[in-house]
Structures are given as structure tokens and as C-alpha cells.
């Protein structure tokens, strides 16, 4: 596994990384919390570490899903030298820019 980092002070790169981290946490920890609730219902106070076993499966699933931002799977985009993003579909209700 190769670790890739976004460029320092490049907001777009950091945003992509943060969004991936959010998606990862949502998928991993929702399952973990459910496991901990089941443990608590049995009277146990221990913490679940099931997320560790699920991590490779969840990362593989995220890397194989087409993203809205690029229209590509992350595993394919990582190989490319540059990836263009699709235009935003968000309509801003305020002035944007310097003027």
C-alpha cells in the first residue's frame, strides 16, 4: 500500500482527502458503534475493535466507487498524472469572487 499526500496549502487536495476520511469514518464507525451497543446490552464495558478487520474491505469498496467530483474511481484516478473535476452543480445565492 502506498500512502499519498495532498500538496501543502492546496485547499482542493485537502478537501478531497477530508471527504474520503469522512466517508471512511461513516462506514467504519457506524458498524463499530452497533457492535459496542450489542456488547453493552450483554453487560460488557469493553470496546469493539471490529473496525480494524473491516478497514481493508471498506477502503477497497471506496476506491472502487465512481466519485461525483471526477466521474472516475479513485483507484483509476490515483494512477493518472492529472484528473479534471466536473463543474459544481451547486448554485450559489451570493456574489462570489473579488468584485
55: pLDDT strictly greater than 70: yes
> What would the mean pLDDT of 59-88 be, rounded to a whole number?
83
Q: Are 7 and 13 in contact (CB under 8 A)?
A: yes
Each residue's pLDDT tens digit, 18-31: 888 888 888 888 87
Q: What is the pLDDT of residues 60-74, one digit of tens each?
A: 998 899 888 788 888
- pLDDT for the residue 98: 61
Q: Cell numbers 494512477 label which residue?
A: 79
Q: What is the DSSP letter of 81?
A: S
pLDDT confidence bin for 1, thresholds 50/70/90: very low
Q: Domain residue spans in the chain?
A: 11-79
Task: Give the pLDDT confidence score for residue 13 in this predicted structure.
Answer: 67
DSSP letters of 5-61?
-PPTT-HHHHHHHHHHHHHHHHHHHHHHHHHHHHHHHTT--PPP-HHHHHHHHHHHH
Amino acid at each position: 500500500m502506498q500512502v499519498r499526500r495532498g500538496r501543502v496549502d492546496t485547499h482542493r487536495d485537502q478537501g478531497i482527502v477530508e471527504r474520503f476520511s469522512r466517508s471512511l469514518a461513516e462506514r467504519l464507525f457506524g458498524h463499530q458503534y452497533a457492535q459496542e451497543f450489542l456488547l453493552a446490552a450483554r453487560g460488557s464495558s469493553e470496546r469493539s475493535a471490529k473496525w480494524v478487520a473491516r478497514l481493508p474491505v471498506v477502503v477497497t469498496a471506496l476506491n472502487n466507487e465512481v466519485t461525483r467530483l471526477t466521474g472516475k474511481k479513485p483507484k483509476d484516478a490515483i494512477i493518472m498524472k492529472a484528473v479534471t473535476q466536473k463543474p459544481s452543480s451547486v448554485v450559489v445565492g451570493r456574489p462570489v469572487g473579488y468584485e
